[in-house]
Structure 1
Amino acid sequence: MKKVASSILIAGLILMTIPTSGFHVSAESVGDLEKKINDLDKEQSGLNDEKNNLEGNKRDTEEKLNKNKSKQSTVEQDINSIDEELTSTQNNISNKENEITETNNEIETLTSKINELTERIEELKEEIKILEDRIEKRDALLKERLRTIQQNGGDMKYMEVIFGASSFGDFISRTSAVNTIMDSDKTIMEAQAADKKVLQENKKEVEANKEEVEVKKVAVEDKKKSLENQKEELVALEGQLKDQMQEKETLMAQLEEEHQDLEEYKLSIEDEQQVLNDQEKAIKLAKQQYEQEKGKLEQLAKEEAARQAAQEKASQSSSRSSGSSNTVASTPAPTPSGNGMFIRPTSGPVTSSFNPNRMHPIHNEIRPHNGTDFGKRSSADARIVAAADGVVSTAGALGSFGNTVMITHVINGQTYTTVYAHLNSISVSSGQTVSQGQQIGVMGTTGGSTGVHLHFEVHPGGYKNPVNPMNYLN
């Protein structure tokens, strides 16, 4: 199994080879290891606090998500209700428009009928004028006849005419003439009465019909006005419903966006929880290594004490014997090649430095560049390696980072997280222990990237605390 160890831990392993003169050094190393173990305990306690805080944030986020879903459900019901009412209103408007069209047709029919009656009235006026002239002439004739009859003594003159006949034939002729005259007078009188009656009936009929049609037209026009008012109310209601629908749809869009943000935040919390879990795993492994090293040093110290006791006992039994004490020089611990605790993750050149106020090349706005970018000059530069020993906390696609590896390290009792983003391929898995210099992937341009490069970050104390990586590299 691959071993998680810091440079201090490696130095501690080297100290295990120190013989007699190394006791004091070993004792100091045990104390150092105890301090480192205590520091790791504190670090682990801090991680537990962070995990508790994250769990609380996750519960709050889930509660907000549930409330958001409830609001979305309510708004969706409102939208459906408004949509039903809007559909009903639009149907009512269509029906009112059909009724108004029918009413307009009815008004046109009545107007046409009124026009016909008006024309008929004009025709009757001509007929009435003719009748009035005829009646006027008959009145004059009748008046003349009456005047003549009155002047001649009325009906008795007819008797004189009849009985004044000179012969029977003359009698018959005179009788026939009198009957003719009397029939003519009767016909005139009857025609006069009939004309007067027709005149009155025609006037009455036309005026009644016109009045009836005009009354009906007024009623239909009132009906049309009422329908138009109802349509205006429905159109106003339709406008209100459309405004309500737009407000609800806007609210729904906001809720959906909020829900998406909460989901993303929840995922980020879960990712951070995973990072903390892996950091905790790395701390436990480092603590285990320190404790094992401490045990070895304590055993060395016991063996050294026993050896010195044996030497003292041997020197007492052989007081005359002389000898020279052998001194074994300790092997000095190796020094790092640079001034940092991490090696460069690639041999490629720096193409973009750490910058909190960099203009983003894609979004064209000021966004912090929380790492250092390394470019690719040759195929050798594409090889990405772990900057230090550690445990892989993330290995996979991660938003705009694309294919990403995150490694948790414990160095001198301090946790660090390194980030390797935009990889073309990944050769490690989450939870895997890696050694410094071990290949973890190949440089690429996945995620939000404008070209093949490696985006490298360093986070002391765990993720979410970016610093300039160049200050930590050899």
Structure 2
Amino acid sequence: MKKSILSSMTAVALLSTAVTAGTPVSAESIDDLKEQINEHEQEKSKISEEKNSLNKDKQDTETKINENLSEQESVENEILDIDDELATTQNKIDTKENEIKATNDEIDDLTERIGTLTKEIEVLEDKIEKRDALLKDRLRSIQQNGGQIKLIQVIFGSKSFVDFISRTSAVNTIMDQDKQIMEEQAADKQLLAEHKQEVEEKKDTVVAKKEELELQKTELLALKDQLDNQKKERKTLMAKLEKEQENLEEIKLTIEEEHAILAAEEKAQAQAIALAEQKVGELEQLAKEEAERKRQEAERRKAEQERQERESHNNNTNNDNSNKVASAPETKVESGNTGGGYFIYPANGRLTSGFGMRNHPIFNVSRLHAGVDFGVGTGTPLVAPADGVVSTAGTMGGFGNVIMISHYIDGKSYTTVMAHLSRIDVSSGQAVTQGQVIGATGNTGNSTGPHLHFEVHPGGYGNPVDPMPFLR
């Protein structure tokens, strides 16, 4: 049998009928209400514990978020430092490349100079070789002809003074030529040695300089590669931290939403308790009035019976058909379940997506679809699936416009969720009856098209199950 103390309008109507008809109030209904109040108190206490647990989870998540942000800042600073070092290294590489280019130009100039020097060396070597041959001939001639003695004979063999001057001048010329040849030969050999030494020294210096520059460039390129790898690692870590941050923010938002939902459910439970206590007071008052009515009726019947007995005694007649007034039978007001699930369909539409894991149509990730979707157009009337108290009515994250209702049925609590609405006609804390229009379906929040998202949570929000077995 379905029991719901959250439908205050129905309860008040029934109470009014009972009072009008003079129907006795059952003590069992009062006991049932008191039992339900106790169960609501327990549920409220459970919600309070869950809120405390969520507060701790929220604090832990905020701590992780702060640690993540601090690590992100540290990594960002490391990336900036690496960028600075990369810029410095690149400048050094550019400088080395310019130096290498200048050295290559110097090598090109030196190569050209070496080519010129090589030709000069070849000319010098040829001249030296020819002078060597000439000097050898001269020495051989001097040796064969007696050297300077022969030259003196030439001078003293003059026939006249003019001939003497002429012969002396010729000998001096020959001697000067020999001396010049010897000096030129020595100078060319010296120049040849200097050219060769210059070429070798310059070549060795430039080659060594180029090798040093190439080595420095190689070291700088290796450093750049190392820095690039470090930057890539830092970027990868940063992306990971940003993803973790996104997940933590989502967890925090989820916790905050769940906390808000629990707070709303706690408020709804408190209101349900207040309604139940009000009904208990009304029923107790009715019970007192009924007891007083019965007492007065009993006194009336007793007085009537005594009167009749006195009349019978006075008339000496035995009236077996005396008029007796019977009390009206007691009735008990109950609400019946029409069969099937506890909830009616909140909107008329075909099922488009069931409960369970699926690939999210917007975020393209596998996650739990915590309810079912019904394909309905925007503006389709939305009704309360059962009697209850509205715990949440407003905008909430990906749900968009959402209504959540707390129900108490057959000794158990449930929370139903209806999301992506275009209109909300109720407010938090409001009692609603099954079938009452509470809003309209729509396409708000994270939605790919007009539809109704419907969830059922036994025991309160946070325990989603497949809603279909609960519908009738």
TM-score, normalisation: structure 1: 0.85
The residue matched to 2:344 in structure 1 has which SS? coil
Q: How much has 1:402 moved relative to structure 2?
A: 4.5
Picking from 307, 311, 320, the partner of 1:320 is: 307
Give the Cα–Cα distance (whole angstroms) in 2 for the partners of residues 366 and 26 of structure 1.
54
Structure 2 match to 1:56:
56
The residue matched to 1:466 in structure 2 has which SS? coil
Q: How much has 1:57 moved relative to structure 2?
A: 0.3
Establish whether residue 39 from structure 1 lines up as the match of residue 39 from structure 2. Answer: yes
Give the Cα–Cα distance (whole angstroms) in 2 for the partners of residues 210 and 148 of structure 1.
38
Structure 2 match to 1:165:
none
Establish whether residue 283 from structure 1 lines up as the match of residue 280 from structure 2. Answer: no
* Paired residue type of 1:126: D
Give the Cα–Cα distance (whole angstroms) in 1 for the partners of residues 71 and 97 of structure 2.
38
Give the Cα–Cα distance (whole angstroms) in 2 for the partners of residues 51 and 364 of structure 1.
31
The residue matched to 1:324 in structure 2 has which SS? coil
Q: How much has 1:7 moved relative to structure 2?
A: 5.3
The residue matched to 2:87 in structure 1 has which SS? helix
The residue matched to 2:456 in structure 1 has which SS? strand
Give the Cα–Cα distance (whole angstroms) in 2 for the partners of residues 396 and 343 of structure 1.
24
Larger CA deviation: 98-107 vs 266-275: 98-107
Structure 2 alignment gaps of length 5 or more: 309-321
Structure 2 match to 1:169:
none
* Paired residue type of 2:406: T
Please give the per-residue CA displacement for 1:347-372, whole angstroms capped at 9, x wherever unaligned. 33x32464435676778887554433
Establish whether residue 294 from structure 1 lines up as the match of residue 280 from structure 2. Answer: yes
Please give the per-residue CA displacement for 1:363-400, whole angstroms capped at 9, x wherever unaligned. 88875544333334x89x8222222332141422532x
Structure 2 match to 1:398:
397
Q: How much has 1:413 moved relative to structure 2?
A: 5.3
* Paired residue type of 1:417: T
Q: How much has 1:412 moved relative to structure 2?
A: 5.1
Larger CA deviation: 209-218 vs 325-334: 325-334
Structure 2 match to 1:346:
347
Establish whether residue 254 from structure 1 lines up as the match of residue 240 from structure 2. Answer: yes
Give the Cα–Cα distance (whole angstroms) in 1 for the partners of residues 112 and 427 of structure 2.
90
The residue matched to 1:462 in structure 2 has which SS? coil
The residue matched to 1:320 in structure 2 has which SS? helix
Give the Cα–Cα distance (whole angstroms) in 2 for the partners of residues 231 and 359 of structure 1.
52
* Paired residue type of 2:242: E
Larger CA deviation: 132-141 vs 239-248: 132-141
Change (3 A) 1:18 1:433: closer
Establish whether residue 306 from structure 1 lines up as the match of residue 325 from structure 2. Answer: no
The residue matched to 1:426 in structure 2 has which SS? strand
Q: Is the 8 A contact 2:425 2:439 kept in 1?
A: yes
Give the Cα–Cα distance (whole angstroms) in 1 for the partners of residues 260 and 9 of structure 2.
26
Change (3 A) 1:215 1:394: farther
Q: How much has 1:461 moved relative to structure 2?
A: 1.4
Q: Is the 8 A contact 2:443 2:450 kept in 1?
A: yes
Change (3 A) 1:441 1:315: closer
Structure 2 match to 1:219:
205
Q: Is the 8 A contact 2:61 2:248 kept in 1?
A: yes
Structure 2 match to 1:132:
132
Q: How much has 1:296 moved relative to structure 2?
A: 1.3
Q: How much has 1:140 moved relative to structure 2?
A: 4.8
| Aligned ranges 1:462-473 → 2 under 5 Å | 462-473=460-471
Change (3 A) 1:432 1:289: closer
Q: Is the 8 A contact 1:343 1:473 kept in 2?
A: yes
Change (3 A) 1:462 1:268: same
Q: Is the 8 A contact 1:421 1:455 kept in 2?
A: yes
* Paired residue type of 1:342: F
Structure 2 match to 1:178:
164
Picking from 426, 435, 438, the partner of 2:436 is: 438
| Aligned ranges 1:185-264 → 2 under 5 Å | 185-264=171-250
TM-score, normalisation: structure 2: 0.85
Structure 2 match to 1:271:
257
Q: How much has 1:311 moved relative to structure 2?
A: 3.7
Q: Is the 8 A contact 1:360 1:367 kept in 2?
A: yes
Give the Cα–Cα distance (whole angstroms) in 2 for the partners of residues 13 and 147 of structure 1.
161
* Paired residue type of 1:115: G
Picking from 424, 427, 433, the partner of 2:424 is: 427
Establish whether residue 85 from structure 1 lines up as the match of residue 82 from structure 2. Answer: no
Please provide the CA RMSD for this pair. 3.1
Structure 2 match to 1:167:
none
Larger CA deviation: 303-312 vs 204-213: 303-312
Give the Cα–Cα distance (whole angstroms) in 1 for the partners of residues 126 and 284 of structure 2.
143
Please give the per-residue CA displacement for 1:324-360, whole angstroms capped at 9, x wherever unaligned. 3254454754534444432221133x32464435676
